[in-house]
Amino acid sequence: MKKFLQGLLISMLALTVLFGFDFKGVQAASLEAENEATETLLKGTLRFEVDENKTAKLKEADFGDEKEQIKRADQKAAKLKHDYLIHSNPGAVSEDGKRVDLYSEKQKNNNKIKGKVPGYVEIQVETLLNPKNHTITNVIRIGKVMGEKPLYINASHDLLASRYYNGKFIKVLNHTKKFSVLEIKPGTSSSKSFKVGASSYYKRDYAATVVWKDSPPIADASKSSPFLANKKPALYPHAKDSHTKQVMGAPADANMKVVPKDKREDRDPNLRKKFKKWYIKKYGEPKWNWDNYEVHHVIPLKYGGSNDMSNLFPLEKKFHQKTVTPWWSAY
């Protein structure tokens, strides 16, 4: 036991050094934390229904008493959780390995409502970013409940993190909520927060197992695409070129080191003029007024970026100065 505890402590210290995570900050969050959050990521929903012919089909089956059904549900739910996930999408990364297209992956809804059934329930999840207290909060909420109510729901909404877009994502927030029959009603929720210590890539891993009376447990799970947040935390800005329809890339490394001034590339004083000429030749003249646009280094020179045209992106002045530049200030 002593060796196990020592090993566990060493593992936690290693994660703290690698990512800058604060394990003390993993704590239950109140509804107030949800209300204070300024950014909400894409929500997810898991849908479950019990077959309309359930009673006739299950008369010959023995599922035990309610305690046994719940036990089976917990066992099934445990198999859906992950301590780590490997993410690999090489096609989203630029040739030099520095930039990544965060929006190259599309998420799909797992289940669709089939029609009128005796019992139906939705479990909703959402992730909230709160710059005020530097936390990321994962929420599990009961959505719709129609017809026959389940006996029990075992739901989880975990957060995993990695320094790199393509790499090993390690669980940093373990959030599980078991809803008893009395808690299964629209609006019932559970929240848990993670204290952010550094810029990181994150993935959400969520699942649920539902049990209706005299029915085997039904399970479903989903994983989000990676998203990037700085140490505030604030979500990496989404910018789309209205002319080319291209989306601004993001750094493939969430924790790039500052390059000393004497070793980094200097900004080209004629950069704007060169970029405008290159852009028009390659894509044609856009409909915007260039006076309202600035040229942005996707990977800043400060972090090893270059003046190469592939590392540049046109941004509206206000968005560049009020959103993108402040994001990098908290990188």
Positions of the chain with pLDDT under 50: 1-35, 37, 54-62, 109-116
Do both 48 and 158 map to the same domain?
yes
Query: Quick one: 56 and 198 in the same domain?
Result: yes
Q: By residue range, what is the domain housing residue 149?
A: 18-229
Residues 262 and 145 in one domain: no
Same domain, 184 and 273: no
pLDDT value for 326: 97
pLDDT (0 to 100) of residue 17: 30
**Among candidate residues 211, 229, 247, the one where a domain is terminated:** 229
Would 242 be classed as within a structural domain?
no
| Residue 279 phi, psi dihedral angles, 5° rounding | -65, -50
Q: Kindly state whether residue 105 falls inside one of the protein's structural domains.
A: yes
Do 267 and 146 share a domain, yes or no?
A: no
Per-residue confidence (pLDDT) for residue 115, from 0 to 100: 44
pLDDT of res. 53: 52
- List Cβ neighbours of 127 (8 Å cut-off, separation of 6 or more): 40, 41, 136, 137, 138, 139, 159, 204
pLDDT score, position 107: 54
> Please, are residues 217 and 209 in contact by the beta-carbon 8 Å criterion?
yes
Q: Identify the domain boundary among 229, 244, 276.
A: 229
Specify the pLDDT at position 59: 32
With respect to residue 12, please indicate whether it lies within any of the assigned structural domains.
no
Residue 5: inside a domain: no
* 198 found inside a domain: yes
Q: What gap in Å lies between CA 158 and CA 55, rounded to an integer? A: 35
Q: Which amino acid is at 156?
A: S
pTM higher than 0.85 for the full model? Answer: no
Number of domains the chain is built from:
2
Whether 208 and 319 map to the same domain: the answer is no
Please check whether residues 135 and 270 belong to one and the same domain.
no
Distance (Å, whole) CA 46 – CA 125:
8
The reply to whether 4 falls in a domain is no
CA 54 to CA 148: how far, in whole Å?
12
Residues 6 or more apart whose Cβ sits within 8 Å of residue 150: 48, 50, 119, 121, 181, 184, 210, 211, 212
Q: Please check whether residues 288 and 143 belong to one and the same domain.
A: no
